Amino acid sequence: MHTDQTPEGTAPDGTAPEGTAQHPPAPAAGTAEGRHVPVMLRRCLDLLGPALAEPGAVVVDCTLGLGGHSEALLSTFPAARLVALDRDKEALRLAGERLAPFGERVTLAHAVYDELPDVLDRLGLPRVQGVLFDLGVSSMQLDEADRGFAYAQDAPLDMRMDQTAGISAAEVLNTYPPGELVRILRTYGEEKQARRIVAAVVREREKEPFARSARLVELIREALPQAAKRTGGNPAKRTFQALRIEVNGELPVLERAIPAAVNSLAVGGRIAVLAYHSLEDRLVKQVLSTGATSTAPPGLPVVPERYQPRLKLLTRGAELPAEEEVAANRRAAPARLRGAERIREGAV
């Protein structure tokens, strides 16, 4: 297994393709691998498969996590090589152990996914055949209480995916101006009660700075009107999502990362993206749809090559997980999967 060094450390056909290798079995519960159940795994493999059959094909897992998707890609496509990125060093360590049996076919990089062009440049890989994104917070980060991602358990308000860099959720709550906090909750959490929540936060932080998640959850419960607490699950969900996105710069990073990933694909290469909320999915849809649309001025009798679409969409809209999968893995419920194939050169 290779480890790529970074400046911050180491680290629409809708059909299944013919000739796809047999899919690996799901990991047994209770094993290390069982900590993470990869979402929409078989569909991701089917979407990427036609591009990964030839020897020397390179697939990039831009969100390695605990390595469930990566392990399945390596097992299903034995001629492929994997480059995997993650900003979380602990995820890299655990996934590295899991993927060790694949040896030199694996290269890990401690990097945020918008750094993909730099990683590929260092590795001497101008083009790749497949790219996978599984966005949002990982199972490991949700399950480890001290990371502060989960509103269901008390923990320090950290929420950094890379705990060696950036500011924590507590720092955001304690130092951001009220207007900026309202903007974050409205934009990233789509929280209609943002002003109420922020007013309560500002009042309480003057008494004592925020440090732990339970206090924030209780404050949100008290701040919201009864009607707002009767729908939509835990009333803290949207605020926690907004803070996580802000702390990790997720949307600005994604805005850079998806076009960069598409532009890294060779002709015939494929991309698959799993998004978990409407803000992510909207960005992904915009990039892929734009790439699949002609840029020719209206009325041309013949469309020159330079105006032709660069992409072909592989999914009709966003595909959803099957009911059976959601029943077995509740974290799959909000997933939205989109895929596309690179059909021409040219920047997207």
**Over the stretch 85-119, which tens digit does the pLDDT of each residue have?**
998 888 899 999 999 999 999 999 999 999 999 99
Tokens encoding 327: 């029943």
> Burial of 235 by CB count in 10 Å (0-12 exposed, 13-18 middle, 19+ buried)?
buried
User: Which pLDDT score, from 0 to 100, does residue 307 have?
Assistant: 84
pLDDT reading at 310 higher than 50: yes
Rounded mean pLDDT, 42-49:
97
User: Which pLDDT score, from 0 to 100, does residue 32 have?
Assistant: 38
- Output the average pLDDT for the chain: 85
Confidence at 224, pLDDT banded by 50, 70, 90:
confident
Does pTM surpass 0.75? yes
Of 117-121, 138-142, 175-179, 343-347, the range with the lowest mean pLDDT is 138-142
What percent of the chain lies above the pLDDT cut of 70? 83
**Cα angle 342-86-108, degrees, rounded to a multiple of 5:** 85
> Burial of 331 by CB count in 10 Å (0-12 exposed, 13-18 middle, 19+ buried)?
middle
Q: What number of other Cβ atoms are within 10 A of residue 70's Cβ?
A: 27
CA dist., res. 66 & res. 78, Å (int): 20
Strand order in the sheet with 336-342: 2-4, 106-110, 81-86, 58-61, 128-134, 265-275, 336-342, 311-313
Rounded mean pLDDT, 24-29:
41
pLDDT reading at 317 higher than 50: yes
Of 2-11, 181-190, 291-300, 331-340, the range with the lowest mean pLDDT is 2-11
More confident residue, 313 or 8: 313
Rounded mean pLDDT, 328-338:
92
CA dist., res. 127 & res. 138, Å (int): 27
pLDDT reading at 314 higher than 70: yes
Of 166-180, 223-237, 279-293, 301-315, the range with the lowest mean pLDDT is 223-237
Query: How many residues in total does the chain contain?
Result: 348
DSSP character for 6?
B
Confidence at 154, pLDDT banded by 50, 70, 90:
confident
